[in-house]
Amino acid sequence: MSQWHFIARLALLTSGPRDIRVRLLDRMFVISALTGMTYMLSLPSALPQAAQGTEGVSGQQAFNNACRTCHMVREGDNRLGPNLYRVVGRKAGSLPDYAFSSAMKEADFVWDEQKLDRFIANPDEVVPGNSMKPYGGLSSGEDRKKIIAFLAQPQ
Ligand code: HEC
């Protein structure tokens, strides 16, 4: 067998299993794409909401409705308000790259569920002189609970 024959045969041999691998990868891609779609469809946020009442609204949606005009939950993404990435357990007014009011900077506590609940209900009661404005307060305890659970989940 000449050298070229040998190489040609080798190429044929190796192309077989490779084809199968490619086909397998294709199939895996289709399967994972389908799984991803099913997963997204099964998320409550992807389901149509009957009414804009608070019932059936996910924590994320409640957050979007009440907070997202000013806050993002992504790390480092400050808007009008500071980012709320891992805010539960974070010291109030402590982000180095956000210009807090002096009231918030001097607030000497760490955000926990209880503080957040009171703050979202009525910011001035927890940090008098804060600059989270215009914000009317969220009177629905149910919505506050959902939003706090959303903020507390691992991000
Ligand atoms: C109109 C804009 C606006 C809206 C709406 C708003 N915020 Fe804020 N938020 C701010 C601003 C501005 C600050 C900075 C306050 C300061 O420095 O005194 C702030 C501060 C905060 C802080 C303190 C963060 C820290 O690092 O100490 C928390 C917690 C917070 N907001 C949660 C919320 C939540 C939860 C909602 C929705 C229920 C919400 N905010 C709605 C503008 C807003």
Which ligand 1 atom sits closest to the C-alpha of 103?
18
Which ligand 1 atom sits closest to the C-alpha of 116?
29
Residue 96 lies in a domain: yes
Could you list the residue range(s) of the whole structural domain that residue 24 is in?
3-42
pLDDT above 60 for 16: no
63-76 pLDDT, tens digit per residue, is 999 999 999 999 99
Q: In the predicted model, what is the mean pLDDT of the chain?
A: 82
CATH code of 110's domain:
1.10.760.10
Name residue, tokens 């804009």: 52
pLDDT score of 103: 98
**φ, ψ at 38 (rounded to 5°):** -60, -40
Tokens at residue 5, please?
Answer: 């024959």
Percent residues over pLDDT 70 in the chain: 65
Rounded Cα distance between 118 and 28, Å, is 48
**Ligand 1: which residue has its CA nearest to atom 22?**
82
Instruction: Please check whether residues 20 and 91 belong to one and the same domain.
Output: no
Ligand 1 site-directed mutation target among 97, 109, 135, most atoms within 8 Å of CB:
135
104-135 pLDDT, tens digit per residue, is 999 999 999 999 999 999 999 999 999 999 99
Compute the chain's Rg from CA coordinates: 26
CA atoms within 13 A on the CB side of 62: 23
Tokens at residue 7, please?
Answer: 């190489």
Tokens at residue 12, please?
Answer: 């044929």
Domain count, the chain: 2
53-62 pLDDT, tens digit per residue, is 556 789 999 9
Rounded Cα distance between 60 and 32, Å, is 25
